[in-house]
Amino acid sequence: MLDIKFVRENPEVVKQNIRNKFQDNKLELVDKVLELDKENREIKQEVEALRAERNKISKQIGALMGQGKKEEAEEVKKQVAASGTRIEELSAREKEVEEELLKNMMVIPNIIDPSVPIGKDDSENVEIEKFGEPVIPDYEIPYHTDIMESFDGIDLDSARRVAGNGFYYLMGDIARLHSAVISYARDFMINRGFTYCVPPFMIRSNVVTGVMSFAEMDAMMYKIEGEDLYLIGTSEHSMIGKFIDQIIPEEELPKTLTSYSPCFRKEKGAHGLEERGVYRIHQFEKQEMIVVCKPEESPMWFDKLWQNTVDLFRSLDIPVRTLECCSGDLADLKVKSLDVEAWSPRQKKYFEVGSCSNLGDAQARRLKIRVNGKDGKYLAHTLNNTVVAPPRMLIAFLENNLNADGSVSIPKALQPYMGGMTKIEKKHA
């Protein structure tokens, strides 16, 4: 959410930013916000003047009564009462205006970073850099669920009977591999100085609306019926929410956290062929990282965060690339975002396995996350990035470490988390 003062002073900048995000339907919101803001300030001024006048004339009542001027005193009382009635009317309208103003401000997108490429959707995202050499082996790479089934590692049919589509049972060595990747990612981030955190897996609505747009909320979040609680779609929401209504001493920054959590998502919409199996699902587990920092440090942390994901995937022998998200592919709160994509030798292309985002002060403004600095209080900047999210990450892992005989090699970094195993052997063809 933008600062209303910024919108007031830079309406054309805000409108051009909306155009750059190809959301022209929101242009009228800027003028509407300006009108509401003007009315709100006028109401406050009138209320302030009325209260000052009421206080002034109220003092006359006692003096008039003391002088025996009862009729004049009664007239003054009527003026005071009329002022009180007008103040109540204005205060009621002020509340309505402020609610409408906030509602509209929450929909106006954040100002994107000047470095963000302008484009309509993810098809116009820009490749930045490749890490590792993509390999296409001279033997067939089966579909990921077929690989898992060769190890008796997945049961989609039972999951469908128990919970419906979009769920899974991971079994045996594949389930162990899943847990090993999460544990390795946890220690990887701890070794990079992040504080490990297991957050609440449900959050209240004020936290939800503080960390994401209404459109994202509707598309992603499961609500707990009858309660003001939502299942988290990703753990950075819960971790950023940890600092709601907090004033953080500047010397305690940056706050760097890495968390484990299950995640739950509606995943609305139709899915294509490559989204069968465990690519896009309603429930998964994830290791995440977040940073709360000084505004001037957020660009530096943005680069550090995505590099962590690249380094982790490379340590597991998985080639990756980074993609700069274009303006039309940025969620409304984001200033800048970069996707990390892993190589799929079966598809002969890259696919998304993580997303790094700088949200500037948007979440901090909504959640009132402030910093107490030497020159006064200011809003923090918040960033988040996926460390690893199996089972999607397992697709990349299995494809890139699959051998001609159907076994899967375990990279050295992961072997201690797999009880020393160097390979997972097929159970059957």
Using alpha carbons, select from 395, 288, 307, 387 the residue that is nearest to residue 344: 395
pLDDT at 65 exceeding the cut of 90: no
φ and ψ at residue 126, rounded to 5 degrees? -115, 125
- Contact in structure between 286 and 388 (CB atoms under 8 Å): yes
Task: Please give the mean pLDDT across all residues of the chain.
Answer: 92
Predicted confidence (pLDDT) at residue 295 exceeds the cutoff of 70: yes
Can you name the residues that pair with 91 across neighbouring β-strands? Answer: none
CB 337 within 8 A of CB 325: yes
For residue 272, pLDDT beyond 50: no
Return the pLDDT at 110.
Answer: 96
pTM: 0.90
> pLDDT at position 273, please?
37
By the 8 A CB rule, do 393 and 174 touch? no
Query: Model confidence over 78-135: pLDDT tens digits?
Result: 777 888 888 889 999 999 999 999 999 999 999 999 999 999 999 999 999 999 999 9
What letter does residue 337 receive in the DSSP assignment? E
The DSSP H or E segment spanning 388 is: strand 381-388
Of 52-56, 246-250, 401-405, give the lowest mean pLDDT range: 52-56
pLDDT computed for residue 85 by the predictor: 86
pLDDT(61) > 70: no
Of 417 and 58, more confident: 417
* pLDDT tens, position by position, 5-50: 999 999 999 999 999 999 999 999 999 999 999 999 999 999 888 8
So what's the pLDDT on residue 243? 97
pLDDT grade for 64, boundaries at 50, 70 and 90: low
Cα–Cα distance between 221 and 229 in angstroms, integer? Answer: 10
Q: How far apart are CA 185 and CA 313, in angstroms?
A: 10
Q: Which residue has the tokens 């009317």?
A: 89
The one-letter amino acid code at 278 reads V
Q: What pLDDT score was predicted for residue 270?
A: 43
pLDDT score recorded for residue 274: 44
Lowest mean pLDDT among 67-71, 362-366, 367-371, 376-380: 67-71
Rounded-to-10 torsion of CA 96, 100, 103, 104: -170
pLDDT digits (tens, 9 = 90+) for 379-411: 999 999 999 998 889 999 999 999 999 999 999
What confidence score (pLDDT) does residue 382 get? 98
d(CA 161, CA 168): 10
- CA dist., res. 196 & res. 309, Å (int): 16
| Catalytic machinery residues | 265, 280, 352, 355, 392
CB atoms within 10 A of CB 380: 28
250, pLDDT greater than 80:
yes
Of 52 and 111, the one with more pLDDT: 111
